[in-house]
Amino acid sequence: MESPTLYITRLLPQPVLNAIPRHYRMLTEPTDRPPTVEELGRGFARADAVICTLTDRIDAALLSHARKLKVIANYAVGFNNIDLPAATQRGIVVTNTPDVLTDATADLTWTLVLALARRLVEGDTWVRSGSWPGWAPTQLLGADVSGKTLGIVGMGRIGQAVAQRASGFRMPVI
């Protein structure tokens, strides 16, 4: 039996690409640039399965080329780039990766909070410019975050992950 065909719209991490030949026949070698509408149309016309990214607009016109497509795996948290009613009407299953970026986004949030509170970017710029005169007790004091109150707008997955990290700084969360 012939393996199902897979169209990947963008270059993905190597471990993902390494696993594909065991289960699928890859239609084209993915590149690190967004495909054109014409390239998407050719790929969708020949594929049993597609892995796309959030920059790929998957609309009803594109899906009209998808004669044998059974599944679209969106390499993204949401579905904003995919016409779900059109896919459903054609019997195409659409999946996503809903929790894949939660921890990374919460970590980045804390990186930015700490960089802002401690004036990290300002200090880095000063040192790299060569004009930093050396340590002084009043330079770039910044602000403590420990014990401060953290306001989070939206307590979805990411908001909850940010709040969880706040406990390490003894911060009440509102």
Per-residue burial over 118-130, b = 16 or more CB atoms within 10 Å of its CB, e = otherwise = bbeeeeeeeeeee
Question: How does strand 93-95 pair with strand 71-75?
Answer: parallel
Question: What pLDDT, in 10s, does the model give residues 18-57?
Answer: 999 999 999 887 888 999 999 999 999 999 999 999 999 9
Residue 165 has pLDDT above 80, yes or no: yes
pLDDT band of residue 2 (cuts 50, 70, 90) is confident
The arithmetic mean of pLDDT across residues 140-155, rounded, is 96
Q: At what angle do helices 120-129 and 102-117 cross, to 10 degrees?
A: 60
pLDDT band of residue 146 (cuts 50, 70, 90) is very high
Residue 17 corresponds to which tokens in the numbers above? 């690409």
The arithmetic mean of pLDDT across residues 127-143, rounded, is 94
Domains, in order of start, for the chain? 5-95 (3.40.50.720), 102-169 (3.40.50.720)
Cα 54 to chain center, whole Å?
8
> What whole-number distance in Å separates Cα of residue 103 and Cα of residue 107?
6
> What whole-number distance in Å separates Cα of residue 34 and Cα of residue 157?
29
Query: Using alpha carbons only, how large is the chain's radius of gyration in Å?
Result: 23
pLDDT value at position 115? Answer: 98
pLDDT value at position 76? Answer: 92
Per-residue burial over 46-72, b = 16 or more CB atoms within 10 Å of its CB, e = otherwise = bbbbbbbbbebebeeebbeebeebebb
Exposed/middle/buried for 106, CB within 10 Å: 0-12, 13-18, 19+?
buried
**What string of DSSP letters covers 47-85?**
-SEEEEETTS-B-HHHHTT-SS--EEEEESS--TTB-HH
Question: What pLDDT, in 10s, does the model give residues 72-90?
Answer: 999 999 999 999 999 999 9
The structure's pTM equals 0.76
